[in-house]
């Protein structure tokens, strides 16, 4: 049976085995998917041994940049993201590295939420790997503008310069912004500590702005609560992004795109327990 894993450290909390088990059952695919705790100092050795027989892998923190370096070939979106979250063993034994995170985000927004990003003003909070992975897929939707806001502005400026050829992207500090935007995406880790990035509520146009937090939890995140309190039309967490990036990886491996709706419903149900 074809074998797949998700590499990480720690990894016991991962929902990926359940997600891919449900995808496989739904699509009639025969595969085995499990977690694999990789040593912090030897991801390459661990992955090399696995791929002697394994077919593919998801990669989570802290190994996405290691996977980028391990891959023999990269998709364009992985190259631009500078990180790999999906590895596929090709027929010749070489490894293809992809990054499905940004595609998962865009699909959650455009398909699950039914929200068109074309012509929209998008504000990205943060300038780390999550933002870098999201920029190419977001810019491919032809927004009116993408602003990267970060506490350290020069990090945002480097990303804006790197992706400038793909569309209208600029950099900002958190406290420079006042005018309403159409979409605010929180890609910082602030919600993990119950905090909200230091932005003003005037960025939300009541009844119009969609707010999205890449984090998720049993209860609405701090950012989602803040967004709702200030009149956001829609306030979403990142659970759908988790399901959609997994579906993108499954499609890459198996050539079949699973229906994420029942899987997302089950994830939400389990999260509420």
Please list the active-site residues: 64
What one-character DSSP code corresponds to residue 152?
A: S
Report how far apart, in Å, the C-alpha atoms of 29 and of each of 23, 104, 195, 224, 250 are: 8, 21, 41, 36, 10
Please tell me the total number of residues recorded for the chain in this structure.
273
User: What stretches in the chain show pLDDT beneath 70?
Assistant: none
Q: What is the distance between the alpha carbons of residues 127 and 29, in angstroms, rounded to a whole number?
A: 38
24-45 pLDDT per residue, tens: 999 999 999 999 999 999 999 9
Kindly provide the residue ranges of all beta strands, DSSP E only, lying in 90-238, ordered along the sequence.
Answer: 95-98, 121-125, 145-149, 169-172, 183-186, 210-213, 234-236
- At CA 176, angle to CA 149 and CA 212, rounded to 5? 40
Token duo for residue 273: 């327990």
Collapse the DSSP code of 12 into the 3-class scheme (helix H, G, I; strand E, B; otherwise coil) and give the result. Answer: coil
Q: Can you list the domains of the chain with their CATH numbers?
A: 2-99 (3.40.50.10860), 102-108+115-238 (3.40.50.720)
Report the pLDDT value the prediction gives residue 21, as an integer from 0 to 100.
Answer: 98
100-122 pLDDT per residue, tens: 999 999 999 999 999 999 999 99
- CB 212 within 8 Å of CB 115: no
Report the pLDDT value the prediction gives residue 223, as an integer from 0 to 100.
Answer: 98
């Amino acid at each position: 049976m074809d074998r797949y894993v998700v590499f990480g450290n720690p990894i016991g909390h991962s929902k990926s085995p359940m997600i891919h088990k449900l995808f496989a059952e739904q699509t009639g695919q025969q595969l085995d998917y499990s977690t694999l705790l990789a040593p912090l100092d030897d991801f390459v050795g661990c992955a090399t041994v696995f791929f002697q027989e394994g077919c593919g892998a998801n990669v989570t923190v802290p190994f996405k940049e290691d996977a980028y370096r391990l891959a023999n070939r990269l998709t364009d979106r992985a190259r631009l993201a500078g990180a790999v979250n999906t590895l596929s063993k090709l027929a010749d034994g070489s490894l293809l590295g992809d990054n499905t995170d940004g595609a998962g985000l865009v699909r959650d927004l455009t398909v699950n939420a039914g929200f068109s990003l074309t012509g929209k003003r998008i504000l990205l909070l943060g300038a780390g790997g999550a933002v870098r992975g999201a920029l190419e897929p977001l810019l491919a939707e032809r927004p009116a503008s993408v602003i990267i806001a970060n506490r350290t502005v020069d990090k945002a400026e480097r990303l804006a310069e790197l992706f400038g050829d793909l569309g209208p992207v600029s950099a900002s500090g958190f406290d420079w912004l006042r005018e309403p935007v159409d979409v605010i995406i929180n890609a910082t880790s602030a919600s993990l500590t119950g905090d909200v990035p230091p932005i003003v509520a005037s960025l939300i146009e009541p009844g119009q702005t969609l707010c999205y937090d890449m984090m998720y939890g049993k209860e609405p995140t701090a950012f989602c609560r803040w967004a709702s309190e200030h009149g956001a039309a829609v306030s979403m967490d990142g659970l759908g992004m988790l399901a959609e990036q997994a579906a993108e990886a499954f499609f890459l491996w198996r050539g079949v795109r699973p229906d994420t709706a029942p899987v997302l419903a089950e994830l939400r149900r389990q999260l509420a327990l």
